[in-house]
């Protein structure tokens, strides 16, 4: 995971799941201690663990109520939301 990992650095963040991702995770939110430092890598980490069907490039990320880029540098205590595409009407 290259740059997104810094040896010895661990973040505690809240992760929220929306729509299909909530179903695949089986949770609406959880508190995570992770060495991955951006949304993209945390998503990949969790995706491998829980079998998410969407790749990181198919999902959008919001931190503390604002859309951010996949490589956004997360800070301790951030709230990260995973938002999959939703089309139902």
The contact mask relative to other proteins for 27-66 (x = CB under 8 A, - = no) is -x-------------------------x--xx-x-x--xx
Pick 8 or 57: Cβ nearer other proteins:
57
For residue 83, give the nearest of 60, 54, 55 by alpha carbon.
60
Our finding on whether 89 is near other proteins (CB under 8 A) is yes
Spacing of C-alpha 62 from chain mean position: 9
Tokens representing residue 12 in the block:
């505690």
Size (the chain), residues: 89
Minimum gap (Å) between residue 75 Cβ and other proteins:
17
CA separation, residue 14 to residues 2, 30, 75, 77, 89 (Å): 23, 6, 11, 7, 29
Minimum gap (Å) between residue 21 Cβ and other proteins:
10
For binding to other proteins (CB under 8 A), which residues are involved?
A: 16, 18-20, 22-23, 28, 54, 57-58, 60, 62, 65-67, 81, 83-89
């Amino acid at each position: 995971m290259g740059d997104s990992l810094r040896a010895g650095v661990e973040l505690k963040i809240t992760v929220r799941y929306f729509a299909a991702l909530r179903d695949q995770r089986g949770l609406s939110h959880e508190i995570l201690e992770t060495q991955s430092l951006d949304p993209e890598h945390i998503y990949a980490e969790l995706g491998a663990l829980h079998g998410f069907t969407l790749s990181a490039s198919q999902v959008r990320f919001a931190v503390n109520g604002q859309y951010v880029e996949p490589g956004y540098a997360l800070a301790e205590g951030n709230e990260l939301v995973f938002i999959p595409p939703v089309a139902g009407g």
